[in-house]
Amino acid sequence: MVRQNLPAAMGSGMVVIPIFAGYDLRRREGRIFNYDITGGRYEELEFHATGSGGIYARGLIKQAWRPTMTRNEAVSLATASLFEAADDDSATGGPDAIRGIFPSVATITAAGYADVPESEIAAGFEQFLERKRAALRGVQA
């Protein structure tokens, strides 16, 4: 798909690089594939982020990710990584608690795909902000 649409993307100046993630029932594990601009496919082993702020998101995820994370921890980490990416990259839109704007987050497990309710994302993001404020004040949260 990426390779077939490359000429149109190059002509318009707009390139979208997808991430394909799912749960492999045969292997009983999640799998993540990322693509480069020419359509090359690469399997990631643990996590991935893309886009102009992807490097900042991956930095935070790399520090905090572990294979035994709970669903809530993973959702919180995804939201926090988007916040950090937006903080360092003006082209990345991040969560905005004041305006009540939060990212769409979903989980993919053996049971299938499920959207995470916005109320849960908002609550997790508030907890992240409290930890960040405490760290800025030099208080262990």
What CATH number does residue 71 fall under? 3.60.20.10
Domain that residue 109 falls in: 53-141
Task: Flag whether pLDDT at 117 surpasses 60.
Answer: yes
Q: Give the DSSP letter of residue 101.
A: B
Q: What is the pLDDT of residues 57-86, one digit of tens each?
A: 999 999 999 989 999 899 989 999 999 999
Distance (Å, whole) CA 93 – CA 82? 8
In terms of domains, do 95 and 136 share one?
Answer: yes
Q: Please check whether residues 7 and 59 belong to one and the same domain.
A: no
In sequence order, what are the residues at sequence separation of 6 or more whose Cβ sits closer than 8 angstroms to the Cβ of residue 50? 17, 18, 19, 34
Average pLDDT along the chain:
87
Between CA 57 and CA 48 the distance in angstroms is 9
What is the C-alpha to C-alpha distance for residues 15 and 34, in angstroms, rounded to an integer?
14
**Residue 88: count of CB within 10 angstroms of its CB:** 14
**Residue 33, beta-bridge partner list:** 20, 43
CA 126 to chain centre: 17
Check whether residue 72 and residue 119 sit in a common domain: yes
Query: Do 64 and 38 reside in the same domain of the chain?
Result: no
Judgement on whether residues 86 and 24 belong to the same structural domain of the protein? no
Give the residue among 37, 35, 63 at the shortest CA–CA distance from 46: 63
DSSP 8-state code for residue 117: P
- 38 plus 66 within the same structural domain: no
Q: Do 92 and 57 share a structural domain?
A: yes
Domain match, 36 and 102 both: no
Do 79 and 61 contact (CB within 8 A), yes or no? no
Give the H or E element holding residue 132.
helix 118-137
9 and 58 share one domain = no
Is residue 92 very low, low, confident or very high in pLDDT (cuts 50, 70, 90)? confident
Domain match, 67 and 130 both:
yes
Query: What average pLDDT does the segment 35-63 reach?
Result: 88
